[in-house]
Structure 1
Amino acid sequence: MAYPSRNYSYPTRSSSRSSIHYLILLAFAAVLVFKVDVLISQSIFAARRRASTSRNFVRPTYRRASRYINSITGFTNGTFNRNFVLSWGEERGKILEHGELLTLSLDRKSGSGFESKKEYLFAKIDMQIKLVPGNSAGTVTTYYLSSEGSAHDEIDFEFLGNSTGNPYTLHTNVFSQGKGDREQQFFLWFDPTEDFHTYSILWNPKCIILSVDGKPIREFKNMESIGVPYLKGQPMRIYSSLWNADEWATQHGLVKTDWSLAPFTASYRNFSAEACIWSPRTRKSSCESTDSAKSNSWLTEELDSRAREKMKQLQQKYMVYNYCEDPWRFPQGPGPECGSKSKINRQSNSNNNINTNANNNDNIIVPRKPRRPRRRSRSKRANKVAQID
């Protein structure tokens, strides 16, 4: 019988225990790895969910913040930002309320002004203005259309300030090919400093109509057939300014500006326009096409007999000066656009008109064109507009 050699050894109880420990360790490691994997998967899923929710929440917040920042820095696309540029006066002119309100100020050092970025060849425009309140003596607030050059065309609203308690004088004028001296002046039937009122200019190939709060106060017809040049060949910009003219503006310069009340401020809002935009490159307007002319009914608009009669009634009540009835300035008679009134009738009407209103306000009859601050040259204006655009 053979026996195992002496060198052979049987497994002992200690080695068996060691194997069991090893198996337990492997099982524990497997469970640990599984748990860690589950935790990592849950963390990744939760992170993705939070990221998705975060993106949906952050985006609109960012857009709102962007709009707010733009409104502060002046890059919003409001009415005045789109259509106008502050042309002089430095910080005295301000565009506020996301571009929907504009203010001009005047102090002892300077006034201020703005102008349209584009030129127009015929337009129907509305602007709401609130004038300088209180003692506005010596100040002039202007709102007008004008072309360039000595033979320029121009349509004027000019508001001549006065001392406290006296009304503003609304001064109007029409220039055609450099010829003006067509002043008509009015007292308004409201206080133009307490609230905004609408001042409108309709300029088309047939006529020019100036209106206040929708009521026509003046009409200048196209009368080329009798030799009166009409405003139809020169594109014009919209201008407005607030400046000091106390050498003539109030009671012919007798009442000066009270600088202790400065700064004087006028406000503008609710600008709207239907206009034929002029292209300097093509030398044409946007209304020259047949389709455009059909869609712009204002291009053929004019006063009917009823509206003209109402205008005449308003003029009889509120007009304080009419160049057509001034024989002192025009001893040979004014332009043919004034009609065929005799010199005697003109003198009689002028005497009645002046005497009736002299006790109310001395700020009438401006025998010369008011001298405005010089506008910047065309090249400087173009550079300024290019920078803003």
Structure 2
Amino acid sequence: MAVSATKKPLLLLSLFFFVVAASAGNFYESFDITWGEGRAKILEDGQLLTCTLDKTSGSGFQSKKEYLYGKIDMKLKLVAGNSAGTVTAYYLSSKGATWDEIDFEFLGNLTGQPYTIHTNVFTGGKGDREMQFHLWFDPTADFHTYTVHWNPINIIFLVDGIPIRVFKNNEKSGVGFPTSQPMKIYSSLWEADDWATQGGRVKIDWSNAPFSASYRSFNDQSACSRTSNATWVACDANKDSWMWTSLNNHQYGQMKWVQDEFMIYNYCTDYKRFPQGLAKECNL
């Protein structure tokens, strides 16, 4: 999607307090473990992070930086075996009562049954924009890359570089879009057996605990970020950069394949849940 020269300076003004991110890969430099009493660990000289869940507690971490737009990658290997009732959450979120949020959540299942990847977008404290997919590979056997590509044009959710969902900026049509609230990255492994697996019908089997999820190869080099409220530095919004990326025809074809073959829920087709009418963006 082309962006006119007259629009670029306006965006640069809105981004003037963010600095181009420079860190990649080292969890000691990029994240703080925030809860779990030792159940989350940084290993291998900062190249590996693990979260565990047992009957007492789960665990989690958050980024040192906060972001306003970025192409952010993380490799995850999810809980293996009978993971029913567990959720591995990986998301960006701002703070406050009218927060913005961009979600990946991975809902465990019985051994041999597919994981559900749950996506959502919150703007101004309102979500209800869920899309869910099964994955076309075993996400517990190896690491796979999950990407949030968030810019002023759209939010693209990607798995191993394949787009699975796009949430476009339709602010001109009255649809909320995250444009001004900086977000941190959060991740956690926790128990949610009241809803996570087959609507809560399958409960967690604690005989399989501790459960573990692993993280590698974090990359935020294509992003605008700051480490404190005192940081006021311009972001590089070059016209050929990630800042202006939307899907090309090949990527739309990839996304169609994923949605045709693997999508199991779409809020834009759930008339039973939204009898008063679907969200405005569903018809744009």
Query: In structure 2, what is the equivalent of residue 309 of structure 1?
Result: 253
Which SS does the other structure have where 2:238 is aligned?
A: helix
In the TM superposition, residue 295 of structure 1 has moved relative to its aligned partner by 8.0
1:332, CA displacement in angstroms? 2.0
- TM-superposed CA distance for 1:179, in Å, is 1.1
Higher normalized strand content (fraction of residues): 2
> Is the Cα–Cα contact under 8 Å of residues 277 and 286 in structure 1 kept in the other structure?
no
| Residue 205 of structure 2 corresponds to residue 258 of structure 1 | yes
**Following the alignment from structure 1 to structure 2, what is the Cα–Cα distance between the partners of residues 84 and 330?**
38
Q: What displacement does 1:309 show? A: 2.9
Counterpart in 2 of 1:294?
238
Q: Does 1:201 align with 2:145?
A: no
Equivalent residue number for residue 18 of structure 2:
none
Q: Match for residue 239 of structure 1?
A: 186
Counterparts of 1:78 and 1:169 in 2: how far apart (Å)? 26
Q: 3-state DSSP class of the match of 1:294?
A: coil
Q: What's the offset of the Cα at 1:305? A: 3.0
Distance in structure 1 (CA, Å) of the matches to 2:231 and 2:25: 28
Secondary structure of residue in 1 paired with 2:213:
strand
Counterpart for residue 7 of structure 2: none
SS of the aligned residue for 1:91 comes to coil
TM-score (norm 1): 0.65
* Counterpart contact for 1:172–1:183, Cα < 8 Å: yes
Identify the residue that residue 223 of structure 1 maps to in structure 2: 170
Q: Could you tell me which of 132, 138, 150 is aligned with 1:191?
A: 138
The whole-number CA distance in structure 2 between the counterparts of 1:188 and 1:336 is 28
Distance 2:166 2:25 in 1: 32
Cα shift at 1:135:
0.2
Between the aligned partners of 2:125 and 2:164, the Cα distance in structure 1 is 23
Q: CA deviation at 1:246?
A: 0.8
Q: What stretches of structure 1 move > 6 A for 4+ residues in a row?
A: none
- Residue identity opposite 2:269 in structure 1: E
CA contact (8 A) 1:222 1:230 kept: yes
Q: CA RMSD in A?
A: 1.6
CA displacement at 1:212 relative to structure 2? 0.3
Counterpart among 76, 99, 118 of residue 129 in structure 1: 76
Deviation at 1:294, TM superposition (A): 2.2
Query: Does 1:101 pair with 2:73?
Result: no
TM-score by length of 2: 0.88
User: How far apart are 1:277 and its partner, in Å?
Assistant: 1.1
Distance 2:232 2:128 in 1: 30
2:64, 2:227 within 8 Å by CA — same for their partners in 1? Answer: no
Percent of aligned positions with the same letter in both sequences? 60
Distance 2:25 2:277 in 1: 48
Q: 1:208 to 1:140 in 2, by over 3 A?
A: same
What CA distance in whole angstroms lies between the structure 1 residues aligned with 2:75 and 2:45? 17
CA distance in 2, matches of 1:212, 1:124: 13
- Tell me if structure 2 keeps the 8 A contact 1:121–1:285: no
What are the superposed Cα offsets for residues 120-173 of structure 1, whole Å, 9 maximum, x if unpaired?
111111100000000001100010000001210000000000111211000000
Q: Deviations over 1:88-116 (max 9, x none)?
A: 00110000000000000000000000100
Answer with 1 or 2: which has the greater Rg: 1
Structure-1 separation of matches of 2:145 and 2:174: 33
Q: Which amino acid aligns with 2:274?
A: F
- Is residue 2:98 matched to residue 1:156? no
Any conservation in 1 of the 2:94–2:181 contact (CA below 8 Å)? yes
Matched, 1:88 2:32: no
| 2: CA distance, partners of 1:162 / 1:311 | 24
